[in-house]
Structure formats: structure tokens, C-alpha cells
Amino acid sequence: MDSELGRGGEGSVYSVKSNNSVVAKIYHQSITSDKQEKIKTMVNLRKDSLSSFTTWPTDILFNASGNVIGFLMPKLTGKEIHKLYGPKTRLQEFPDATYSFLVRTAANLARAFASVHESGHVIGDINHGNFYVTDKATVKLLDCDSFQIGTANKLFKCEVGIPMYQPPELQNISSFRDITRTPNHDNFGLALFIFLLLFMGRHPFAGRYLGSGDMPIEKAIKEYRFAYSNSASLMMMQPPPGTVHMEAIPFEVSDLFERAFSKESGRENSRPKPEDWIKKLDLLEKKLRKCNHKEGHLFSDVNKGCPWCDLEQKTGVVLFHAAIATATQLISAFNLQRVWQQITGVTEPGAAKRLPNPITVSVDPDPQLVEKYQKSKVRKKLSAIPPVIGFAMFLLIPEAWFVIALVVAIVTSAIYRSDGYSQLNQIWEIKRREAQQRWEQVSQRWLREASDELFTQKRFQLEKCKQDYEGLEQLKAEKLKRLKSERHRMQLQSYLQRHRIESATIEGIGSSRKATLESFGIETALDINSNTILKVPGFGPTYTRKLMDWKNKIEKSFVFNPNQEIPQSEIAKVDREIFSLKKKLEQELYSGSSELMKISNQIKVRRNALWFEVEKNAKELAQAACNVQYLKGE
């Protein structure tokens, strides 16, 4: 044996000098005869399908007395799965991982479960420390000697388990020693870890309880209070703030979660099996599409927009790094000079024509109006005849004055009523006002719609893009210079971020409460502040103070190193930001000439269509004004 690689409660793992591909697990204390028999049985049951997904025992280690003290197993590669599904640790441990990587890992986790179940065994002790993920998204299962191993003659049971990963039917039991595990029990844990992967480390049963009292994860599991379910409100539950909802994934996948966590799931073989997950997750990965704004964002095509952009904007937490371009990828075919020549080559629509002045439009009075007006003048003259005749009749027959006066009044009134002059005045004054109103409306439309303002604004925007593109190197230099001045802050943040709450020993805060904190986006010492903690269900002043004390203790142990270089992760972050901005500016400049041409053509077409209305309304107003003036005798 060589150096110790790791130590657990049951045993330690050592490297093997003679074989770099295997390691040795040696128990701290003597194990029972039943456990020794279990190890021997597992070695005999070893096969390729199990070795592909597990650290299955390959050989037995005996002491001088012939007792089993340990075994050899394949050397483990990769990192704990929680370092992948936790957003903050993922950026450090799996910086190039995208959502596609998470989906593929979930499918490979299901394949690992399937290999165990197909061999007649059950994992039983499902927890975040027993699953390792490589940079290829492959999965390995650890602690195989704790599995429930089934043979034709004997069943070696799994005697351990962490409640917050166990199904409802196995909650609140005093010991797992006498429990016979089934694949359906494992299928609950599989669904739970797939949920953790797809939903950024959020435990499916850690949410906001809308009832009175506390709702720890174990109790929520027992009562089937799936916080993200479509029927969560009926169970008095809500997802934590700053999380994606079930609508972000296809129904075929969300339905598997609903089935896995429903009240009917405890029935034998009722939960989705690994094969169900493999099929749907493989399909999900194939249908992921890229975000238009951020290189590292991939998401299901059931979303109208990118859910990661939306979530990052709401929470301020970066979920995925942008993909880092290789040197070859950075050699772009983009030629700024050529693209800018195309942009400046677009013909401007020019300033809009000046509106005509309706007063200057030459028109004659309407001929029909002139005819009616002349007729009204004749009638007006004729209206003087009846009084003259009446006066002559009065001189001849004075005793009939009343009758004469009445007849004269009736005839004169009839002539006036048929005159129509006052009616013409009224009609054309109304027409003039209406024409004036139409002219004002079309004038406003012309100023608004025929303007070249949209073209000018787009051209100005493209000029700004050009300036920004030319200043990318300077911007990068400024960002790197700023990093140098912030080394103390960055070192402290990096130091705090390395201290995960999940790995800490804090009085009264066990695995369930830690999972609740993680479901509310609190993973490391860096995430801890009193206001944030107090918003988490079940965390009052006492637990908040304990977490703050733990963070303060870590801060006091921090030592600034003035000679330490800027972390490569921070430099890479700047590179990603500059690269993302570069691609965005290139896209805007590439499409600039076509968009300018489109705007210019739209303006010209609109002007041609609107100018017809302008001339028509100007002439109508001029005609109406001319008619009114004619009637007034001006």
C-alpha cells in the first residue's frame, strides 16, 4: 500500500504501488462474518456492466489470519456530483459545463442505476457523496459494499441511508437494518438527483410552506409535498424564489418527476425506472437550443426565451460560463473595414419634403356653388317685388289692407325660404373646418412617419457599435487592471467560496437544513448574510447567528497574499465577457447594412403613399377656404 487517498467512517482508501489503475479500501475495524461473505460474493458477481458504472470490488484483501480486511477496486476519477449541480461550485469545478452537460450526466446517472438493478442489486444508500462525475459527464457509484446485494440463496441488505434522499415510505424508521430495499426505493433517489441536476441544486421538497409551523425536508417527503409540482398549491407549497419552474423542461420529463414524487409512487414499480429517464433525457439533450445572447446558455425548446438569462438577471448569480473560444475560433472572418463600407454605402432616404401651404394652392370656387349662389341672388332681388305690388294694391283697395299684407308676407317668406344662401354658408364653413382638421392630422403623420429619424438613429447605433468594437482591447486592459486593484477582495471571496456549508460542522445544522439552504441558493460561506438567511424557512435568529459566527471565524483565518497572481478563473471570466461582447457586436454590425437598407426603403415607400394624402388634403382645404371666401364676397 502507498499513501492514503481518503478516509471515511468505515474505512480508508489507499493507492496501490504495483497498479495505478486500482486502489485499496481497508476497514478501520474488523468486520462481521456476514460482511466478509458479502465482499467475497460481490467479487464473484463482478461483471463489465457493473465495472463501467461503479467502483465494484475486484479482489479481496486478507490479513494473516485469513479474515477479510478490505478489497481492491477501480481507481476513482471525477468529482462529487454536488460540485456539479451546485451553481457556484460548478463554475469552479466544472467551468465548461453547460446545461447539456447536466442533462447528459443525469442520463448517465440513470444508466448507472440501471446497471445495478439489471444485476439484481439495489443501491439503497443514495447520497451526494456516493456519486462522482468526470469531465466527460460519465458517472461512477461509490461505496458499493453498502449496496443491497441479491443472490439466489441470500440477500445482503443495505443497513444505512440518509433520510432526505429516501422515499416517503422509508421516512421516520429507526433503522434500515431490517428493511428490504427495492428498485422502486432507488427510483425515488434517482429522480431526486436528476432534479438536483436539472434544477440547479434545488431539492424538490425544499420550498416555502404556506401553512403554520416548520416543514423540514424529511417531513415534506413523507407528506408528498413536492414544491415544484403543478398541484403544489394544494399541498400548501411554493418553490423557493429565484428558481426555474417545471415549465422550463418538456412535459415528458416533468411528468416523470410528478410520477416519481406523487402519492401513488410508493406502490411497487410505480416510479419511473432508469430506462424511462434515459430515453427522455437523451431526447431532451438532442432538442436543446442555444441562447442568442450568451454562449454558455442552452435550454429546452419548450421555452420562449432563455430561462438562464432571466434567472441570472433576477438573482445576480452566474449559472453557466460562456464557452471559451479556442485560438482557431477567435480568428474570425469578420472584417470591420469591409462591413463598415457596406454600412456607409447604404443610400440615405434624405430629409422629407416640406409640406405645401394650402393657402398658396390655386383653386377656383366650385362651379356648382357659383350657380347656386347666383340663383340665390336672383331670388333675393325677386323678394322686393311682392312688397311693391302690395303697396300699390293698398292704395287701390285700402279696406283690404289686412288681406294684402298677409299675402305679401306669405309670398316674400316663400321666396326667402327658397333662397338657400345662409344654408350654403353654414355647409361650407363646416366643410372648411373638417378639411382643416384632416390637414392637421396628415401634417402630423408626415412629420412623424416620413422623417428620416429612424435611419439616423440606427446609423448612430451602428457607429457606437463600431467604436465599442474598436475599443475591445482597451476595455479588456481596463478590466484586467481593475482586477489587480481588487486582489484582496477576490482572494477573500475565493477563500470564502471554498468553504462549503455542506462540508461544515455547524451545531444544529444537519444535512436536511444544509440542503434547504442550498435550495435557496446558499452554498458557501460567501453566500451567508443575515438578511438572506432570515428569509429561508426554518432559519430564525438562532441559526442565522450560528451561520454568521461560522462565516466570521473563516474570515478571521483569511490571510491576504500580495504576491499571489490574479486567479486564472477571473482572467478567464474577463476573456469570456470580451468574447461574448465581441460576437454580439459582430452580429449587430454584420446585419447593419441590411437593416439600414430596410429602414430606408420603408421610409421611401411610406413617403410615397402618404404624399398622395398630403396633396389631396391640401387641395381639399384650399377648395373649402376658397368657397367660404366666395360666399362672403371677399
Q: Which three cell numbers stand for residue 159?
A: 443497513
Identify which of 155, 156, 144, 189 has the alpha carbon closest to the alpha carbon of residue 171.
Answer: 189
| CA–CA distance, 60 with 40 (Å, rounded to integer) | 7
Contact yes or no for 58/40 (Cβ under 8 A)? no
| CA–CA distance, 122 with 112 (Å, rounded to integer) | 11
Residue where the block lists cell 325660404:
417
Q: Evaluate if residue 533 carries a pLDDT over 70.
A: yes
Which positions ≥6 away from 398 have C-beta within 8 Å?
Answer: none
Q: Which three cell numbers stand for residue 558?
A: 483569511
Provide the 3-class DSSP secondary structure of residue 562. coil
Which positions ≥6 away from 162 have C-beta within 8 Å?
Answer: 125, 126, 127, 511
pLDDT for res 374 = 64
- Look at strands 11-15 and 4-7 and give their pairing: antiparallel
φ, ψ for residue 347, nearest 5 deg? -65, 130
pLDDT for res 7 = 82
The structure's pTM equals: 0.69
Percentage of residues in the chain having pLDDT higher than 90: 59
In DSSP terms, which residues pair with 27 in a beta bridge? 11
| CA–CA distance, 83 with 135 (Å, rounded to integer) | 12
Q: Evaluate if residue 326 carries a pLDDT over 60.
A: no
pLDDT for res 609 = 87
CA within 13 Å, CB half, 275: 5
| CA–CA distance, 375 with 396 (Å, rounded to integer) | 33
| CA–CA distance, 489 with 369 (Å, rounded to integer) | 88
Which positions ≥6 away from 22 have C-beta within 8 Å?
Answer: 16, 58, 72, 73, 74, 75
pLDDT tens figures, 554-567: 999 999 998 888 87
pLDDT for res 379 = 58
Sheet with 79-80: list strands edge to edge: 79-80, 131-133, 139-141
Provide the 3-class DSSP secondary structure of residue 441. helix
In DSSP terms, which residues pair with 70 in a beta bridge? 26, 61
Contact yes or no for 61/69 (Cβ under 8 A)? yes
Average pLDDT of 535-539? Answer: 90
pLDDT tens figures, 198-250: 999 999 999 999 998 889 999 999 999 999 999 999 999 999 988 999 999 99
| The one-letter amino acid at 619 | K
Q: Evaluate if residue 265 carries a pLDDT over 90.
A: no
pLDDT for res 378 = 54
In DSSP terms, which residues pair with 524 in a beta bridge? 500
